Amino acid sequence: MEVECVYEKGVLRPLRRIRLKEKERVIVEVRSSIVNKTKGMLKNYDIDKIIEEIESGVIL
């Protein structure tokens, strides 16, 4: 099962209901979102041009 969670105030909180028994133990693998991994990669590019290319389906 894969569940997206948010870490707030020292607690990992799932963004949807998880069907587990009370006090059931699980193993959690923490991975960063793709947004965090790619943040800032296009900062030196013209964002309007990038959006235009994506919307047109033609990548220059």
Looking at every residue in the chain, the average pLDDT score rounds to: 85
Long-range contacts of 46-55 (CB under 8 A, 24+ apart): none
Please state the rounded mean pLDDT for residues 27-36: 82
- Residue 27 is assigned to a structural domain of this protein: yes
Token reading at 43: 């900062």
Return d(Cα 48, Cα 52) in angstroms, integer: 6
For residues 1-20, give the mean pLDDT: 92
Nearest to 7 by CA among 40, 27, 33, 26: 33
Structural domain harbouring 48: 23-60
Contact 47, 38 (CB under 8 A): no
The domain total for the chain is 1
- Over residues 51-58, the mean pLDDT reads 82
- Tell whether 18 is covered by a domain: no
- 51 located within any domain: yes
- Domain assignment present for residue 2? The answer is no
Is residue 8 in some structural domain? no
pLDDT attached to residue 59: 65
Q: Are 15 and 3 in contact (CB under 8 A)?
A: yes
